[in-house]
Amino acid sequence: MIDLNSLKPLDLWGIVKDSLVEKGHPWRVFTLSTVDKECRPQSRSVVLREVEPQSWLVRFYSDSRSPKILQLQHNPHVSLCFWNPQLKQQLRAEGVATLMSDPAGIQQRWQSVKDGPTAGDYTTTLAPGSAVDPLVEFSEQNWFCVVEIKIRSFDLLQLSREGHQRVAVTPDGVTALVP
């Protein structure tokens, strides 16, 4: 359990970063919500790939043709939600998403996934969400992209029989909230 009474913003970032290395950590997959052109919320699971505590950044990888990418290009405001059922911790975050534009940075990350089991996630001939066509499957081309989310604030809720605890965490500090 996290002691929310003495929590500092960088302590929380340390916990988020640890979830990348701890095998099977439930915060490795989070729910990402975007807003579509009709102003309707759209949510899906994505894998947390990179965490940069000093710059309040997280990154995930995707196919640049997928609806979520088109949505965040139209409206970059996103919401993230992580849940740890063992420790009964919910972490929500608000942020602004951009696509990484540095070709060398994208290429370096593509090299790390292109020979692995997830390479096919970025090389289907048809865009994600298209109706399946059995004649076309994978392409030599890839639509790998790196999404960076600049986190503006966190909302951490610790459920406990002794009493739930909740804090808002921003770069300015930590504020206790009524759960």
Ligand X SMILES: Cc1cc2nc3c(=O)[nH]c(=O)nc-3n(C[C@H](O)[C@H](O)[C@H](O)COP(=O)(O)O)c2cc1C
Stretch that binds ligand X, among 10-18, 58-66, 93-101, 169-177 (CB under 6 A): 58-66
Is 76 a residue that touches ligand X (CB under 6 A)? no
Could you list the beta-strand ranges (E) of 48-124: 50-52, 57-63, 77-84, 89-99
Is 41 a residue that touches ligand X (CB under 6 A)? no
Is 26 a residue that touches ligand X (CB under 6 A)? no
Stretch that binds ligand X, among 39-47, 75-83, 109-117, 158-166 (CB under 6 A): 39-47
Nearer CB in complex with ligand X: 63/148: 63
Number of residues engaging ligand X in binding (CB under 6 A): 15
Is 47 a residue that touches ligand X (CB under 6 A)? yes
**Measured between alpha carbons, how far is 169 from 176 in angstroms, rounded to an integer?**
9
Is 60 a residue that touches ligand X (CB under 6 A)? yes
CB 47 to ligand X: min, Å = 4
Closest C-alpha to 89, from 46, 22, 27, 170:
27
Is 168 a residue that touches ligand X (CB under 6 A)? no
CB 33 to ligand X: min, Å = 10
Enumerate long-range contacts of 3-12, CB under 8 Å, 24 or more apart: 4/156, 4/158, 4/165, 4/166, 4/167, 4/174, 4/176, 5/176, 7/156, 7/167, 7/169, 7/174, 8/174, 9/169, 9/170, 9/171, 9/173, 9/174, 10/53, 12/91, 12/154, 12/156, 12/169
Is 42 a residue that touches ligand X (CB under 6 A)? yes
**Measured between alpha carbons, how far is 62 from 179 in angstroms, rounded to an integer?**
34
Stretch that binds ligand X, among 9-17, 44-52, 99-107, 154-162 (CB under 6 A): 44-52
- Binding positions for ligand X, rule: CB under 6 A: 29, 42, 44-47, 60-63, 66-68, 128-129
